Structure 1
Amino acid sequence: MSGRSDTGTSGTRMREPGEVFGPRMTLFADVLSVGLATAVACVPLLTAPAALSTACAVLRGAGEDQPATAGRYFGLLRRRLRAGDLGAGAVALTGLLLFAADLALAGAGLPGAPLFAVVAAVIGACAAVVGLRACARPESLTDWRVAVREAARDAVRDAGGSALVLLAVATAVLCAWMLIPLAFLAPGPLALALTAVDVRRSAAPG
């Protein structure tokens, strides 16, 4: 008789005796708890990049059998917060305010406003992709400059991954718009999507 491993034919861990939910449901619950922790950590705004970066690191660790819990999340976030993280938050917040101001000017009926709005939207989307992909890179835990530089290269070389990032952001915004309480859970699935895109890039040949 051929032996069967406890991972099954699909490579997924089978449910243990007495376990109510399977591993996929456990990961789903972990993602939601990390998402809620990330939403709380983002409240000061300046901590948003570090909060999202930490969420990606925790979820990446789940693939290495490390716990993806809110406790581990806050422990990692507490150890890594530094001046560079707050600086990254200041840059992100400044860029967001400038983008909002540009769109407000475009909506004021100035000459050439439609074209200006399109250009501002494209620049904003590109900056968002680079910033979010930087959060997903492991380098963001220690050096934001390296993370942003590598993320910019990834954004160009991996156009498909960049499109997935924009789709993930659009989905998170839509869910939050449809049901406000989902805004507190959206960072978890968003971080999971960003991590998956980065893992996909790392696994790609060449």
Structure 2
Amino acid sequence: MPLFADMLSVGLATAVVCLSVVTVPAALSTACAVLRGAEEGQPATAGRYFAVLRRRLRAGDLAAGAVALAGALLCAADLALAGAGLPGAPLFAVVAAAIGAAAPVVGLRACARPESLTDWPAAVRAAGRDAVRDVGGSGLVLLAVATAALCAWMMLPLAFLAPGPLALAAVHVRLTVISES
């Protein structure tokens, strides 16, 4: 139960930081780092979360957030165009939906990697390799994303609790991959 309570407090802190959308990757990466530290006996509190975030926030984090935001907007626009009845729209919609489903999986897996604290490109490359190698773990991360989206859709206040379980799921999948290696 202490980890559950810590995960919720870190999740609420993450939700606050995520309000400016370009900070989402940095916020989730920091949440993953704090929850990873809980496995090593370090406290997983909101205070530690903000201390780690202050030490690591840099221009690369904001660039990663801008890229993620642009990708999400592009995917939404592509799906809207596919729904407009353009030629080849059904195939295009399937491809766009597959990319839209794979992107959050790779993004969350990148946030769970320690490299995300210093080098986003390396973290994303390694997360992409992990996503392909560990299909089961990627499926679990995708289910966590779908569950968080469904909960937020059903009851909007639950959106503020979603980052904690997402970070915990990504960290757990990452630690499982390490322990199996």
TM range (shorter): over 0.9
In the alignment, structure 1 residue 139 sits paired with structure 2 residue 115: yes
Cα distance in 2 between the residues matched to 1:71 and 1:175 = 26
Question: How many pairs were matched up?
Answer: 181
The AA in structure 1 aligned to 2:44 is A
| C-alpha distance in 2 between matches for 1:172 and 1:102 | 23
* Structure 2 alignment gaps of length 5 or more: none
Q: After TM superposition, which residue ranges in structure 1, 4 or more long, deviate above 3 angstroms?
A: none
- Per-residue CA deviation, residues 144-178 of structure 1 (Å, 9 max, x unaligned), is 11101111110111111111110110111111111
Post-superposition Cα deviations, 1:98-127, rounded to whole Å, max 9, x if no partner, equal 001001101112122122111101112222
TM-score (norm 2): 0.97
Read off the aligned partner of 2:170 and give its amino acid letter: L
CA shift at 1:196, angstroms? 0.2
Aligned partner (choices 132, 154, 161) of residue 178 of structure 1: 154
| Distance (whole Å) between structure 2 residues aligned to residue 92 and residue 68 of structure 1 | 26
Gaps of 5+ in 1: 1-24
1:90 corresponds to 2:81: no
User: Corresponding residue for 1:5?
Assistant: none
Q: Distance in 1 between matches of 2:99 and 2:40?
A: 36
1: CA distance, partners of 2:35 / 2:156: 24
> For 2:102 and 2:140, how far apart are their aligned partners in 1?
13
CA distance in 1, matches of 2:18, 2:77: 22
User: Match for 2:128: what amino acid?
Assistant: A
Greater relative contact order (Cα < 8 A, sep 6+)? 2
Higher helix proportion: 2
Q: Percent of aligned pairs with the same residue?
A: 78
Whether the 8 Å contact between 2:9 and 2:46 is mirrored in structure 1 is: yes
1:110-149 alignment, distance < 5 Å: 110-149=86-125
1:196 corresponds to which of 147, 172, 176: 172
**TM-score when scaled to structure 1?**
0.86
Aligned to 1:72: 48
Aligned to 1:93, the other structure's residue is in SS state helix
